Amino acid sequence: MAELRIPCVGAILTDGELILLIRRGHEPEAGRWSIPGGRVEPGETDQQALVREVREETGLEVTAGPLVGAVDRASPGGRVLAIRDYAATITGGTLAAGDDADDARWFSMRELHSLPLSTGLLEALNDWGVAGPVPTYALVAEATRRAGVVWLTVPGRARAYPAWHLWRDPPGAAYLVTGPGEQPLPGLAGAARVAVTVPSKESRGTLVTWTAAVSRVEPGSPEWDEVIGPLAAARLNAELSPEAVYRLAPQSPCD
């Protein structure tokens, strides 16, 4: 039986360090963020389909630019989505989610690491040089271990905020505390993942940004007992009484 390939297009719309994403309102992958796009209808060129899909999903008028990359994605029923993603330029319109998009927003490239993205999107953007490469575990561990403070970007929060931490290896994770007299960690309790940015002391820029899976360490658990002493020592605070301890473990963006 011949493979059924469905031609699709996507629009890569960027503005400096920002990229425009839509949140899918229907399956496949409802609730995940992706670039605007969809199927090429019979009789349409890729460029015509891209302009139509972007208008329907975001309210924006665009012109299609060069092909950035192409991928195949498996689809239910044995079908294959043959996706061609193009750079695009906004020429008019007002940003407003429509059609099968629940939301449409601009995100920084750094925030992509903390978003629930459609399957393979971040890897593709990395491979094509749009979002930058995913850092290796070795780089994440070494950079984070040496940093006294990292910056956390929590989904839904308007800005990143600093947090002191302690890296433990094993298990290979950063631990943070919050509580009376300690650092506030707004939004961390309800987050499944965050973006962790390690600053560079030399350049005052960014050394590495990585995606962390967030989990709370249960008070009185063996893990709690193992980390609370080193955390108090690192904080140089004999009266450390954290309300909560959180583990930030490096995670693949598609896990």
Q: Which CATH architecture has domain 4-127?
A: Alpha-Beta Complex (3.90)
Q: Name the residue with higher pLDDT: 110 or 19.
A: 19
Q: For residue range 37-74, what is the model confidence (pLDDT) as tens digits?
A: 999 999 999 999 999 999 999 999 999 999 999 999 88
pTM of this prediction? 0.63
Q: Name the residue with higher pLDDT: 78 or 212.
A: 212
Chain-wide mean pLDDT for the chain? Answer: 87
The dihedral region occupied by 31, where left means phi > 0, alpha psi between -120 and 50, and beta the remainder, is left
- Spatial contact of 120 and 127, defined as CB atoms under 8 Å apart: no
Q: Which CATH architecture has domain 137-250?
A: Roll (2.30)
pLDDT band at 237 (very low <50, low <70, confident <90, very high): low
* Long-range contact pairs involving 14-19 (C-beta distance under 8 Å, separation at least 24): 14/87, 14/130, 15/106, 17/108, 17/109, 17/110, 18/106, 18/107, 18/108, 18/109, 19/106, 19/107, 19/109, 19/112, 19/125, 19/130, 19/131
Distance CA 83, CA 10 (A): 7
Q: Say what the pLDDT of residue 195 is.
A: 84
% the chain with pLDDT above 90: 49
For the chain, the structural domain boundaries read 4-127, 137-250
Eight-class DSSP state of 220: T
